[in-house]
Amino acid sequence: MRDPAFRAGLLVESIECMLEGDMETGKALLRDYINATIGFKELGSLTQKSPKSLMRMFSPDGNPTASNFFCILHMLQQKEGLQFQIRTLH
């Protein structure tokens, strides 16, 4: 995936889905993002987790722990050169 704006948009959309409670779509989008960018092998090296374990976390039945999810998100932000912020809306 060569378009940086599209990559960033896909990553943002996956997180927004999860924050809205749509974990299934969020995980699917995040899985697609990982497959299309760094891949699970490189992500495994960066996070010191097995690629198969990472793939299971983001499968339809997967349920990553908060610790694993935020570690992965941190690595993806660094790789993409992004920094996410959460703001409240009133």
Q: Which domain holds residue 8?
A: 4-80
Question: Average pLDDT in the 13-32 region?
Answer: 94
| Structural domains counted in the chain | 1
Cα separation, 13 vs 39, in Å, equals: 18
Domain assignment present for residue 47? The answer is yes
List pLDDT tens digits, range 31-55. 999 999 999 999 999 999 999 999 9
Domain assignment present for residue 46? The answer is yes
Domain assignment present for residue 64? The answer is yes
Lowest-pLDDT choice from 2-11, 14-23, 51-60:
2-11
Handedness of CA 10, 90, 83, 59 (dihedral sign): negative
Q: What are phi and psi of 67, to 5 degrees?
A: -60, -50
Instruction: Confirm whether pTM is higher than 0.85.
Output: yes
Residue type, 76: L
